[in-house]
Copies of this chain bind each other. A is one copy, B any other.
Amino acid sequence: MKDISRAHCPIRRATDILTDQWSFLILREFFLEGRKRRFQDLQQELGLSPNTLSNRLKHLENTGILERRLYSSHPPRAEYVLTEMGARFGPVLEALYDWGTSYPETDKKPKSD
């Protein structure tokens, strides 16, 4: 592994933004389903409450990972798209996917402590 310094650590910067229950999974939808996602799409795909989704989307917007585009307000039509920074997140998800794939499903149980 390359030189990772603790001061201003890039991993710390990443986890400060992303370590809630949903952010990784929201971003995953953009790589799995398409670059443009709508509020209702995400809600159905992920099965989370609208207020939670709203909070997380705003957070990802404020941190420059997603961009919100409002096309009409009546009826409302909004789309969320990955920014440059958001698009660069693909390799992280791939690495996480690979790791998760090799995680044993049965002999160790997540969240059971």
Q: Confirm or deny: A12 has a beta carbon within 8 angstroms of a beta carbon on chain B.
A: yes
- Give the docked Cα–Cα distance between A111 and B60 (Å): 10
**B residues near A1, Cβ cutoff 8 Å:** 31-32, 90, 93-94
Chain A 19-31 interface mask (CB, 8 Å, partner B; 1/0): 1110111001001
What's the number of copies of this chain in the assembled complex?
2
Q: Confirm or deny: A70 has a beta carbon within 8 angstroms of a beta carbon on chain B.
A: no
Report, as a range, how many residues of chain A touch the other chain: 35 or more
Tell me whether A15 and B24 are in contact in the complex, defined as CB-CB below 8 angstroms, given that A103-B85, A113-B62 are known contacts.
yes
- Give the docked Cα–Cα distance between A106 and B1 (Å): 26
Q: B16 near A111 (CB under 8 angstroms)?
A: yes
